[in-house]
Amino acid sequence: MDWLFLLIQTMNGIQYGLLLFLIASGLTLVFGIMGIINLAHGSFYMIGAYLAFSFTQMTGSLLWAIVLGIPATLVLGVVIERFFIVHLYHRDHLQQVLLTFGLILIFNELQLVIWGGDPNGVPVPEILAGSIPVSETLSYPVYRLFLSAVCLVLAGIMMVVIQKTRLGMRIRAGASNRRMVEALGVNVRALYAVVFSVGVTLAGVAGMLAAPVETVYPGMGEQILIVSFVVVVIGGIGSIKGAFLGALAIGLADVYGQVYLPEIASVAVYALMAAILLWRPEGLFGRGAENG
Amino acid sequence: MANSTSGYSRRRALALMGAGAGVAAASTALPTRFAIGGQAKVRIGTLLPYSGTYTRLGQAITNAMELAFDQGGGKLGGRPIELVKVDSEAKPPKAAELTNKLINQEKVDFVVGPVHSGVAMAMAKIAREENTMVVVPNAGANQVTGPFCSPNIFRTSFSNWQPGHPMGKVLLDEGKKNVVLCYWGYGAGKQSAQGFKDGFVPHGGKIIKEIAVPFPKVEFQAALTEIASIKPDAVYVFFAGGGAVKFVKDWAAAGLKDKIELVGPGFLTEGVTKAQGAAAEGIRTTLHYADTLDIPANRAFRAAYKQAFGKEADVYAVQGFDAGLLIRAGMDAAGGDTGARAAMIKAMETTAIPSPRGQWTMSAAHNPVQNFYLRQVRNGVNEVVKLAMENLSDPAKGCRM
């Protein structure tokens, strides 16, 4: 194994980790701040990808698809929060799991009715369609690099919003003591509606951005759901910073596992999770530790 | 993680409850069986996916089987036919219960299904004990016509071992001797890789590396990097559905397309070339069928299917059509008497099936002995290049009948 090989594999791991972060960030917001276990998060990822597929076919460009897709998922988030999630705030996790699981079934069936069971491809935008040669035989697709850059930018924006803005302050306050924030005159209901819709939109945007590399197919949301929960738990529930580092750790563990320990590649990610939880039961940046 | 695991166990419990309720509701509405000699209906139970991802496969199989029955005058051995459709949802946890319902409550004469190998394993175990006639129109698990083989279980599709097997010979004939295997590390992937190896290694081929990607993961970048650093003559892969689309596209995006040959069993490019786009062009695969197979039986079948159902037939429809032909052969030989089991089984074992894929017969283990074609994607269509292997039979390891 020469250094170039190692370098490329590390790049693969980081790139996969960044994508995981984008998907898991919405989940950790909703889970950590609102205390809602949202099993349907993967469905929003899938819906984003399918919207990208349809809108790309209509408009001929992924950029336009995303421009149209963001308000669509935002509205979807508002509607789902208003009619379903709002009833869950004072209920236990079992009922949250049941309702959001029901949503998965509904979304999966709707997906089949609207788009059918075939896998669909979304073309990579032409400007980003090229590849950069990195070795004699291997090239790196430009779109994947672009995707990583977008994930980094979004991560930066999220951290600034959470740490530096008034909204972020309220979100953090709502997460640590909902009643106190309410008593101080903050409209927590509205705050939660915003957080949930943003969470849905983040999942949707992840699906839209990933559509050209991931392929759009039924059940794609469930695949990503489990690993997203792993990222959230490793990072510490509700922590964006934790989700970021957790996602990178998972991405790297996944790639190195596959290269150096292929026999146990399928459990490498879960072994990492177990090790981290033994060391820090609350996750890397769980509550009690610094909240960010 | 505690949260998501609890979600999944609950999910399974819910799924089971739902299935139980649905079947109970359906069974109350069905008439009891009446035996008036030749006029009683032959009950054909289908255990196929009519919801979920594989709906299209379940429908294609059912449609084509009914077409085969209609072409036989709508009767089996002189008796009218009644279909009892049960949705398998392609979910193995439900398979045992649904199979039992079909056999013990619905009292069907034949069970036709399933699509999913996990469902097939559960079904085969029960069918062996209950001694019900079973025709498997898709699921490829080697075990069905291997360790689980039984006089009453027949398959009209393929074993997972078969489709990739002829590719070994194709590569060796072209002097390509160093190959990397890359597949989903679960039942079907491993069995497909073994089939390829059995046709490749004993004749001088060398497997340089095996990369098993955990199923159903679709993140292939690490595997591609590794393949690029090895630079083999060819790579044999097993991926299907969304995984097949993604692998083929990632392969092209990584710049490997014109440097290393990518081959696999037909499912790599079957029904997914539109989604794969230009990335699929030129890829060669082996399979027991191709839409473009230019023989009279295929032309006639495709025309009849299109006329009846308004859409193009595919490989799954062919397998369903052959299930219908096989049941017809058995019932005709038994003169419509499902009790004449010996005559029925004998006919099903010996009749040459005039299939759209070309005529084939049953092996001793009840799996098709059939031709395999080398196909190549040209303009998004799997075109037949040549006959890759004639009358290939599954080794049927572990079958004692």
The reply to whether A15 touches chain B by the CB within 8 Å rule is yes
For chain B, give the percent of residues with pLDDT over 70. 91
Question: Quick one: pLDDT at residue B225?
Answer: 94
B387 found inside a domain: yes
- Considering only the beta carbons, identify the residue of B1, B11, B229 that sits closest to A5: B229
Question: Both B269 and B380 in a single domain?
Answer: yes
Look up the domain containing B59 and give its range.
Answer: 31-158+296-366
Most confident of A116-130, B20-34, B99-113: B99-113
What residues 194-213 of chain B have any CB closer than 8 A to a CB of chain A? 211-213
Best probe of the A interface among B3, B54, B258, B262, by most A CBs < 10 A, is B3
Smallest CA-to-CA distance from A237 within A94, A91, A31 is with: A31
Instruction: Judge if B133 and B197 occupy the same domain.
Output: no
Is the torsion defined by CA of B359, B316, B269, B241 positive or negative?
negative
CA dist., res. A64 & res. B76, Å (int): 57
Q: Per the CB < 8 Å rule, is A118 touching B219? A: no
Considering the domain architecture, whether residues B239 and B378 belong to the same structural domain is answered as yes
Residue B275: what pLDDT? Answer: 92
Residue in A217, A227, A231 to test binding to B, most B beta-carbons within 10 Å = A217
B9 occurs within a structural domain = no
- Asked if B225 is an interface residue toward chain A (Cβ–Cβ < 8 A), one would say yes
Find the mean pLDDT for residues A203-216.
93
- Contact assignment for A119 to B272 by CB distance below 8 Å: yes
Whether B283 and B217 share a structural domain: yes
Under 8 Å between Cβ of B237 and B165: no
Substitution target in B183, B184, B219 with the highest count of A β-carbons within 10 Å is: B219
CA distance A173 to A151: 26
Distances (CA, A) of B70 to A27, B117, B334, B358, B360: 53, 28, 19, 20, 21
Sequence letter at residue B40: A
A250 in any annotated domain: no
**With contact defined as beta carbons under 8 Å apart, do A223 and A108 qualify?**
no
Q: Would residue B5 count as lying in a domain? A: no
Report how many domains make up chain B: 2
Taking the C-alpha atoms of residue A243 and residue A80, their distance in angstroms, rounded to an integer, is 24
Q: Does A254 touch chain B (CB under 8 A)?
A: yes
Q: Rounded to whole angstroms, how far apart are CA atoms B215 and B210?
A: 15
Q: Does some domain include residue A31? A: yes
> How many Å lie between the alpha carbon of A233 and the closest alpha carbon of chain B?
6
Residue B73 CA, chain-centre distance (Å), reads 27
Query: What pLDDT, on a 0 to 100 scale, did the predictor assign at position A287?
Result: 66
Task: Show the 3-state SS of chain B.
Answer: CHHHHHHHHHHHHHHHHHHHHHHHHHHHCCCCCCCCHHHCCEEEEEEECCCCCCHHHHHHHHHHHHHHHHHCCCEECCEEEEEEEEECCCCHHHHHHHHHHHHHHCCCCEEECCCCHHHHHHHHHHHHHHCCEEEECCCCCHHHHCCCCCCCEEECCCCCHHHHHHHHHHHHHCCCCEEEEEEECCHHHHHHHHHHHHHHHHHCCEEEEEEEECCCCCCCHHHHHHHHHHCCCEEEEECCHHHHHHHHHHHHHCCCCCCCEEEEEHHHCCCCHHHHHHHHCCCEEEECCCCCCCCHHHHHHHHHHHHHHCCCCCHHHHHHHHHHHHHHHHHHHCCCCCCCHHHHHHHHHHCCECCCCCCEEECCCCCEEEEEEEEEEECCEEEEEEEEEEEECCCCCCCCC
Q: Is residue B25 predicted with pLDDT exceeding 50?
A: no
A residues 79-118 near B, CB within 8 Å? 93-94, 97-98, 101, 108-109, 112, 116-118
List pLDDT tens digits, range B275-290: 999 999 999 999 999 9
Q: How far is it, in rounded angstroms, from Cα B193 to Cα B207?
A: 11
CA pair distance B45, B160, nearest whole angstrom: 24
Please calculate the CA angle A267-A118-B321 and round it to the nearest 5 degrees: 110
Contacts with B, A 46-75, CB within 8 Å: none
Beta-carbon contacts of A127 under 8 Å, excluding residues fewer than 6 positions away, are: none
B281 within domain boundaries: yes
Looking at the 3D structure of chain A, how many domains does it have?
A: 1
A123 to chain B, any CB pair closer than 8 A? The answer is yes
Q: Answer whether A265's CB lies under 8 Å from B222's CB.
A: no
Cis amide prior to B114 (ω within 30 degrees) = yes
Instruction: Assess whether B62 and B168 both reside in one domain.
Output: no
A57 Cβ neighbours under 8 A, 6+ residues apart: none
Mapping DSSP onto H, E and C, the string for chain A reads: CCHHHHHHHHHHHHHHHHHHHHHHHHHHHHHHHHCCCCCCHHHHHHHHHHHHHHHHHHHCCHHHHHHHHHHHHHHHHHHHHHHCHHHHCCCCHHHHHHHHHHHHHHHHHHHHHHHCCCCECCCCCHHHCCEEECCCCCEEEHHHHHHHHHHHHHHHHHHHHHHHCHHHHHHHHHHHCHHHHHHCCCCHHHHHHHHHHHHHHHHHHHHHHHHHHHCECCCHHHHHHHHHHHHHHHHCCCCHHHHHHHHHHHHHHHHHHHHHCHHHHHHHHHHHHHHHHHHCCCCCCCECECCC
Average pLDDT over residues A226-242: 90
Mean pLDDT of B26-48: 65
Tell whether B142 is covered by a domain: yes
B275 vs A219: CA distance, rounded Å:
16
What was the pLDDT predicted at B22?
41
Structure confidence at residue A78 (pLDDT): 96
Q: Which of A119, A135, A141 sits opposite B242 (nearest CB)?
A: A119
Q: Can you give the pLDDT at residue A1?
A: 53
> How buried is residue B36: exposed, middle or buried, by Cβ count under 10 Å (0-12/13-18/19+)?
exposed
Domain-located, residue A102: yes
A124: contact with B, CB 8 A cutoff: yes
Residue A164 distance to chain B (closest CA, Å): 30
* CA neighbor of B190 nearest in space, from B167, B224, B213: B213
Residues B383 and B345 both lie in one domain: no
Position A230 scores a pLDDT of 94
In this structure, the answer to whether residues B181 and B106 fall within a common structural domain is no
Residue of A229, A234, A258 to mutate when probing chain B, most B C-beta within 10 A: A258
- Looking at the structure, tell me whether residues B62 and B82 fall in a common domain: yes
Do B194 and B241 share a domain, yes or no?
Answer: yes
- Please give the residue range of the domain that contains residue A139: 18-218
* pLDDT given for residue B4 in this prediction: 37
How far is the alpha carbon of B157 from chain A, nearest alpha carbon, in Å? 21
Query: The whole model's pTM is what?
Result: 0.88
For A163-192, b/e burial (b = at least 16 CB within 10 A) is eeeeebebbbbbbeebeebeeeebebeebb
Residues of A (174-213) whose Cβ lies below 8 Å from B? 213
Average of per-residue pLDDT across A216-240? 90
Report the CATH number that the domain containing residue B36 is assigned in CATH. 3.40.50.2300
Domain contains B255: yes
Going by C-alpha positions, the residue among A223, A204, A213 that lies closest to residue A51 is A204
* Dist CA B336 CA A149 (whole Å): 68
Q: Answer yes or no: is B57 within a domain.
A: yes
Choice among A171-185, B76-90, B146-160, B204-218 with the minimum mean pLDDT = A171-185
- Given the cut 0.85, state whether the ipTM is greater than it: yes
Look up tokens 């060796």; give the residue. Answer: B172
B 17-76 near A (Cβ less than 8 A): 51-56
pLDDT digits (tens, 9 = 90+) for A15-65: 999 999 999 999 988 887 788 899 999 999 999 999 999 999 999 999 999
Both B281 and B337 in one domain: the answer is no
The whole-angstrom distance between A128's CA and the closest CA on chain B is: 11
Q: Is residue B310 part of a domain?
A: yes
Residues B153-207: tens digit of each pLDDT: 999 999 999 999 999 999 999 999 999 999 999 999 999 999 999 999 999 999 9
Long-range contacts of A175-179 (CB under 8 A, 24+ apart): A175/A32, A175/A33, A175/A238, A175/A291, A176/A287, A176/A291
Q: What is the pLDDT of residue A134?
A: 87
Beta pairing, strands B75-76 & B79-87: antiparallel
Highest mean pLDDT out of A30-34, A215-219, A249-253, B14-18: A249-253
Q: Are B181 and B260 within one domain?
A: yes
Q: What is the mean pLDDT of chain A?
A: 90
**Whether residues B175 and B187 fall in one domain:** yes
Q: What does residue B158 show for φ and ψ, rounded to 5 degrees?
A: -170, 165
